[in-house]
């Protein structure tokens, strides 16, 4: 089957002397692996379309029952050049793509997830680097909602420490069961989920990253730990 579709490039790695193996999240097929033959040559027709974070239109030769397909051509649909211009923008974009890679099953399309990722990356392209990480947090809160285990993120109980229930995400007072979270980090998490731009300290980022990793891992019964987030440590 030959299919032309919108896609976000989630990940790319070298293959052979001149090609790339690329993971795409497509509107029609969901997450798929493709081979982009000759993508690393200087005269490649792919240009920068096979680079992570690219929003593209591509033509895929899809072969049922195969793990890898072939991308025949690809073009940038909406260039997002700022994402590669600053470390914080790049890191936050890669965090979002990595969560889609880790949480979405192969070839199970979800147009809501595609639109969520596309919108978040386009917002990030216009974001100030100081608030970029918050965009990735807001995206992951929204992704949890779409997947059916969203964090309610209501008004927390009084106190400097909040406990977030692993099963229901409800904020409880300290001393009850749940993931420990400082009130400051919890308030920042709520702001990010509402789409508000905010800056945060390194320690707050570490706390939120750990909380999201444990929460996603519990609900998906897999280990959801971002290699990109290791840059925080």
Reported as a single tens digit per residue, the pLDDT across 124-149 is 999 999 999 999 999 999 999 999 99
Co-location of 151 and 223 in the same domain? yes
Q: Residue 226: which pLDDT band, with cuts at 50, 70 and 90? A: confident
DSSP track, 166-219: TTT--EEEBTBSSEEEEHHHHHHHHHHHTT------HHHHHHHHHHHHHHHHHH
Give the structural domain span for 45: 2-76
Selected residue with higher pLDDT from 231 and 175: 175
160 lies in the same domain as 223: yes
Structure tokens belonging to residue 193: 């989920």
- pLDDT at residue 218 tops 60: yes
Kindly indicate the confidence band of residue 20, based on its pLDDT and cuts at 50, 70 and 90: confident
- 224 token code pair: 């959801």
72/91 same-domain check: no
As a whole number, mean pLDDT of residues 28-44 equals 85
Residue range 58-65: average pLDDT? 88
Give the whole-number percent of the chain exceeding pLDDT 90. 70
Name the domain boundary from 76, 111, 127.
76
The whole-angstrom separation of Cα 158 and Cα 212 is: 22
CA-to-CA distance for 131 and 138, rounded, in angstroms? 11
Answer yes or no: is pLDDT of 230 > 70. Answer: no
| Rounded mean pLDDT, 47-71 | 89
pLDDT value for 157: 85
For residue 232, pLDDT over 50 is answered with no
Segment 174-179 shows an average pLDDT of: 90
CA-CA distance, 206 to 220, in Å (whole number)? 21
Beta strands in the chain (DSSP E): 2-15, 19-26, 30-36, 55-61, 68-76, 161-164, 171-173, 179-182
Closest CA to 27 of 128, 129, 110: 110
> pLDDT value at position 141?
97
Are 194 and 115 contained in the same domain?
yes
Contacts of 187 (CB under 8 A, 6+ apart): none
The SS3 call for residue 96 is helix
Averaged confidence pLDDT in the chain? 91
Asked whether residue 92 falls in the same domain as residue 46, the answer is no
- Do 96 and 189 belong to one domain? yes
Tell me what the mean pLDDT of segment 71-79 comes to: 89
Give the number of domains in the chain. Answer: 2
The arithmetic mean of pLDDT across residues 64-84, rounded, is: 88
Those residues with Cβ within 8 angstroms of residue 232's Cβ, 6 or more apart along the chain or in another chain: 202, 205, 206, 209
pLDDT band of 228, cuts 50, 70, 90: low
Same domain? 93 vs 202: yes
Residues 97 and 26 in one domain: no
Which range has the worst mean pLDDT, 2-11, 38-47, 97-106, 203-212?
Answer: 38-47
């Amino acid at each position: 089957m030959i299919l032309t579709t919108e896609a976000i490039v989630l990940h790319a790695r070298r293959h052979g002397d001149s090609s790339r193996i690329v993971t795409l999240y497509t509107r029609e097929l969901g997450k798929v692996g493709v081979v982009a033959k000759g993508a690393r040559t200087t005269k490649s027709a792919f240009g920068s379309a096979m680079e992570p974070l690219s929003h593209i239109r591509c033509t895929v030769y899809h072969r049922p029952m195969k793990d890898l397909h072939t991308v025949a051509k690809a073009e940038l649909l909406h260039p997002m050049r700022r994402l590669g211009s600053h470390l914080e923008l790049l890191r936050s974009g890669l965090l979002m793509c990595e969560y889609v890679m880790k949480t979405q099953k192969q070839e199970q399309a979800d147009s809501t997830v595609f639109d969520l990722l596309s919108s978040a990356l386009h917002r990030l392209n216009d974001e100030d680097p100081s608030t970029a990480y918050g965009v990735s947090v807001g995206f992951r809160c929204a992704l949890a909602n779409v997947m059916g285990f969203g964090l309610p993120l209501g008004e927390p109980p009084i106190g400097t420490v909040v406990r977030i229930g692993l099963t229901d995400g409800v904020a409880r007072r300290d001393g009850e069961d749940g993931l420990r979270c400082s009130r400051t980090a919890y308030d920042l998490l709520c702001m990010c989920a509402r789409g508000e731009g905010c800056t945060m300290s390194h320690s707050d980022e570490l706390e939120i990253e750990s909380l999201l990793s444990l929460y996603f891992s519990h609900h998906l019964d897999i280990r959801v730990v971002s290699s990109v987030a290791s840059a925080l440590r």
